[in-house]
Chains A and B, each alone.
Chain A
Amino acid sequence: MTESNVQQSDIAVEMRDIVKRFPGVIANDHVTFIAKRGEIHALLGENGAGKSTLMNVLAGLYAPEEGEIFINGRKMTFHSPRDAIEAGVGMVHQHFRLVPTLTVVENVVLGLDEPRFKLNLEEATQKIEALAEQYGLKITPDAFIWQLSVGEQQRVEIIKALYRGAQILILDEPTAVLTPQETVELFSTLRSMAAKGHTIIFISHKLDEVTAISDRVTVLRAGKVVAVVEAKDVTKEKLAELMVGRPVIFRLEKPEVAPGQEVLRAEDLHALNNKGLPALKGVSFTVRAHEIVGVAGVSGNGQAELSEALYGLRPLQKGKIYLNGQNITKAPTREIIRQGVAQVPEDRHKEGSIGDMDLAENLILKNYRQPPISRGPVISWKYVFDFAKTLIRRFDVKAPGIHTRARLLSGGNLQKLILARELSSDPALIIAMHPTQGLDVGATESVRELLLQERSKGAAILLISEDLDEVMQLSDRILVIYEGEIMGEVPADRADRNEIGLMMAGARQETLNHHETVAA
């Protein structure tokens, strides 16, 4: 397609005819990728298209079977990430590579050759502070990683790369986990880096961001490059079409349905977080059939604890939970599942799937004890395999087969697998946490559509998400959570981004209304 005319001397990265195979898939099939010095280059593609794989090859994590890599015109062979770092390539991974029990400084100097023996953390701290200043990154050098928010951890990753003198910085879905405010800050950092001559390569599924910040875009589909375009020449719709191979409709039909009976009632929930501190401080709300209730909030304000408490995974200090009028406050999770509650957990690797089990096994984790899947203690595998094949097709999970181990799926496909399991049981209540996190445009739309379908069918849905657009688009009512308390509730049709944003930052609805009247 469009081959932008690139001067040889501007080229910072050139990957030529890269081939990388995994058992059963060709993740990169003769991919040629070029990034110029000082540009922000976006890498786009559907889930499983091979974006992370290509960048892992560039970062020295995977050795390609075929192909060559040139950095600043010099041919390179990377045997390890260390070689890549020495060549000036730094990568911020989809899952951060930070040791939680070490401090920021310790993480930054980890793996360096200097000093030989005694650590000189004061000197490192000064250098980190200088870099932070130069690139506008807010950072606390002596904090432990486990104390930091996701956004702060990401800044540590960027500092880590800069500290090593990275000229080329790769970011794998950097904004998937950021709040809107953090995203703005990240982009301003990236722009200032590019202005200083760094090359930025970033992977994203959010097309608005891609068109807003990048100079050029490379699109991958099924392991092959299908287009390289100037960002200013394309629209979001065009990019989506290039990725998927057919036009994508961005309009979501939200049918008018009247809410039905109350399905979930939470009364005055109090619970502690893993550190033993109060995470929920008197949360009350209801969700009715045919209704999606969105919970907006910056992550870490009690959302995960709320989801776990409702699902029977976290003991309550105080409060009651009713499902269809029945008290399920102390019910075990198995009973809660049996009553028709489905959950899409926050962490798809740890809570949503069993990595070393295959797809078919993962799909029956919740209903393996019911006929026709099992009769008595015996599982009918023939039925299971048919069931799994149907689900995989219906939910469009891209995988070599139903006997693939779950951990080998790309992030987006694993999410689809979990949704397939949770939604296939016709649940009465769905607790969905970040259901579209890391999904490509096509998959995001289909998940949202699925949730709306469940709503039409009569399910009550609690949608917990940091993506304000998603919450506003899907919900009938929006609750805003801050430090374990509900700051206020707004009907979706009268929702105001600003008002919600203020509540997410800790302002109570009453006080907001008060200000409005004063202003008016």
Chain B
Amino acid sequence: MNTAVLITILATSVAAGAPVIYATVGEIFAERSGILNLGVEGMMLMGAVTGFIVAVKTGNPWAGVMAGMLAGGLLSLIHAFLTITLHADQVVSGLALTIFGAGLSSFVGQNYVGVQGPQFAPIHIPVLTDLPVLGPLLFNYDVLVYLSILLVPLAAYFIHHTRPGLHLRAVGEDPTTADVMGVSVARTRYIYTFVGGLLAGLGGAALSLAYTPGWTEGMSGGRGWIAIALVIFAFWEPWRAMVGAYLFGGVQALQFNLQAVGITIPTYYLNMLPYLFTILVLVFATGERMKRHLGAPAALGIPYIRGER
């Protein structure tokens, strides 16, 4: 394998990882507050289709990004209402959201399949992008990739070093205590479920406006589910989520580039790679978690009802 291919693989990993980073960090926020949202896949699809349509209509990809986030956010509010206000089962509600999002996105997007639209192209930074090796490796991405990299330290700082971050952790670990200490459990959970939705929507928009521009039905291809698995791999920490997302991106990049270097494996097997990777990641992460006694937020998936003893 020559360096050119290696650079391509690495660069593709980073680009492919970006949408997954958004979705995974979003789900980390939701789960840290105690809400398991299995609707990530549905929210990503709605984010992708809405973002694309709005971008086409307005000609402005940024408007598309905003719209995509809003679509994901709105969908997450359905989940929030069902699980936080009505105490519905989080697993069932999340699954329903994924099915709903998948169906609705293909309905809304049926006239946009194959349509050309605006997109975020890699930014050409004078001098830097033209550097040999470093240029293509570090300075040849679109703006959404850079933003995803920025999101990770911000999210980590927010969770561990700010007052709202402390409240977020407390609500997910021990809602009764948080409530007694004057932190509104319902409000906190609504906010971060919504944040999770916004970021999943952004992840979707990053797919349809940057990574693989255009709309095709089911274009998220299971990334929503992979994000949920990566949250566990990440032990609910943004930095580890980034590592996981790039590993996933790497597997995808391999998938594309193996053929380029003349290794012939039937595409069926190649297509399996990301999912195989997910299963391996889960096995590995769970083993390590057991050893280190790192747990999910203790109240994850459990409805909170005040005064219930």
Residues of A within 8 A of B (CB): 61-62, 80-82, 85, 93, 97-102, 106, 109-112, 115-119, 275, 355, 407-408
Contacts and interface: CB of A to CB of B under 8 A. Distances in A.
A117 B308 CA distance: 31
Nearest to B308: A407
A93 B177 CA distance: 10
B287 interface: no
A111 B178 contact: yes
Contact of B183 (A61, A111, A408): A111
B163 A115 contact: yes
Given A62-B307, A99-B170, A101-B298, A110 B178 contact: yes
Contacts of A81: 179-182
Contacts of B180: 61, 81, 93, 97
A101 B309 CA distance: 21
Interface of B: 161-167, 169-170, 173-174, 176-183, 293, 295, 298, 307-309
A97 B161 contact: no
6 contacts: A61-B180, A85-B182, A102-B169, A112-B163, A117-B163, A275-B293
Given A102-B173, A109-B166, A115-B163, 10 more contacts: A81-B180, A82-B181, A97-B177, A100-B174, A102-B166, A110-B177, A110-B183, A111-B182, A117-B163, A118-B163
B303 to A, nearest CB: 13
A469 B235 CA distance: 46
A118 B161 CA distance: 6
Contacts of B162: 117-119
A492 B238 CA distance: 58
B102 to A, nearest CB: 35
Contacts of A115: 163
A192 to B, nearest CB: 25
Given A81-B179, A119-B162, A111 B167 contact: yes
A85 B180 CA distance: 10
A100 B178 CA distance: 12
A97 B166 contact: no
B59 to A, nearest CB: 37
B230 to A, nearest CB: 21
- Most A Cβ at <10 Å: residue of B178, B180, B293: B180
Contacts of A275: 293
A415 to B, nearest CB: 15
A111 B170 CA distance: 9
B26 to A, nearest CB: 21
A111 B181 contact: yes
A407 B308 CA distance: 8
Contacts of A119: 161-163, 165-166
Contacts of A118: 161-163
The 9 A-B pairs of least Cβ separation, nearest first, read A111-B181, A82-B182, A111-B182, A97-B177, A99-B174, A110-B181, A81-B180, A97-B180, A99-B173
B187 to A, nearest CB: 12
A423 B218 CA distance: 61
A509 to B, nearest CB: 35
A90 B173 CA distance: 22
